[in-house]
Structure 1
């Protein structure tokens, strides 16, 4: 199968998916699949690869390919803050099943992979599905290409129209750190859902508007995260972003209009 990623830029599906587990950088609100472990290694990785990448003020999703064999060697996806309603999320198709596979670029040249705009959340946030737009749900998917453990590209009419992450709570971390290999604690899964509510619409809009009930809920989640003793690696990843919201909206008085 050949996939279109950016107008006339295409890649062919191979039999070799990436082996690295995803890292769900919760404070950065992105999912990374790559071998680099710090900023220096990341910069070297960019020099040695080509594809779609962040550049100055432009922040598309990322697919990076090896210069020599044109094989996919890394990926990065940004989580939309616009959450689809429950009715639309329920329309995400269960088929076709995920087919593990990598990608081989047709040509050695850069392209731009647009970020997705809609976040569809399965019950219990067992799967996060990020779509180009909700029109994708009006027709069946052609394929799900599992480019890495629990990460799949969604294909419709030969074009990549989104991506999904299964069991996102398992991969919670910060920046370049590897996720905890142990399974998440049940309490962490519940907190993950509460935090995801807080950083997506419509609750995020209420926090930004300083609606009292939303701020009270934010403070309660913040305190619960601080108090939990188990699974601290994942909890600290959640706490990092929630603490920023508390500082920006719950602790600071609103600016006075002139």
Structure 2
């Protein structure tokens, strides 16, 4: 299948998805799929590949391809700050099923992959679906290409219109660190949903306006994360961002 990513820039699907485990950098609000483990390795990786990447003040999503074979070798997706309305999230289709696959660029040149603008949250945040816009929900999806474990590109009219991450709590981390291989604890799963409420609109706007009720929720999440004894690595990943919000909006 040939897919359009940016205007006239196209890729062809393959049978080889990425093997890398996703890393959900919660303080950075992005999902990375690649083997690099620090900033220096990431910069080398960018220099050795082509595709969509950050440049100065422009921060699109990343899809990076090997220069020799033009195969997809890494990806990075930014989480939207805007949560879709509950009724829109309920319209996210469950079909078609995810089909594992990779991508091969049809030509070796850079392009720009726009970030998603709408975050649709499944019940219990068992899946996050990030869409180009909510109009995508007005028509069925054509395909879901599983480019990595639990990560899929959403296709409509042979154009990539979004992406999804299944079981996002499992992949929580900070920066470029690998996520904890152990299963998430029930307590951290619950705290994840509370934290995601706080770092996305509309509740984020209330936090930034220092609304007393929103600030109380922020402080409660901060205290619960600090008191969490199990699953500390994931709790610390959540705390990295929640703690910053407390410093900025709840300590004055």
What is the alpha-carbon distance in structure 1 between the residues aligned to residue 5 and residue 177 of structure 2? Answer: 29
CA RMSD between the two structures: 0.4
Give the match for residue 233 of structure 1. 233
Partner of 1:175: 175
Q: Which residue of 1 aligns with 2:113?
A: 113
Deviation, 1:99, is 0.3
Distance in 1 between residues matched to 2:20 and 2:238, nearest whole Å: 22
Alignment of 1:1-258 (within 5 A): 1-252=1-252
1:69-100: CA deviations, max 9, x gaps?
Answer: 00000000000010011100000000000000
Cα distance in 2 for partners of 1:237, 1:206 equals 22
**Pairwise CA distance, 1:201:** 1.1
Tell me the secondary structure at the aligned position of residue 103 of structure 1.
strand
Unaligned runs of 5+ in 1: 253-258
Residues 142-190 of structure 1, C-alpha deviation per residue, up to 9 Å, x if partnerless? Answer: 0000000000000000000000000000000000000000100010100
**Distance of 1:41 and 1:241 partners within structure 2:** 24
Structure 2 counterpart of 1:255: none
Q: Which runs of 4+ in 1 moved over 3 A?
A: none
Give the Cα–Cα distance (whole angstroms) in 2 for the partners of residues 43 and 58 of structure 1. 16
Distance 1:43 1:207 in 2: 34
Task: State the alpha-carbon separation in 2 of the partners of residues 215 and 63 from structure 1.
Answer: 37
Partner of 2:246, secondary structure, is helix
Q: What TM-score comes out, normalization by structure 1 length?
A: 0.97
Report the CA distance between 1:39 and its aligned residue.
Answer: 1.1
| Rounded Cα–Cα distance in structure 2 between residues aligned with 1:52 and 1:71 | 14
Tell me, in whole angstroms, the C-alpha distance in 2 between the residues paired with 1:4 and 1:38.
Answer: 31
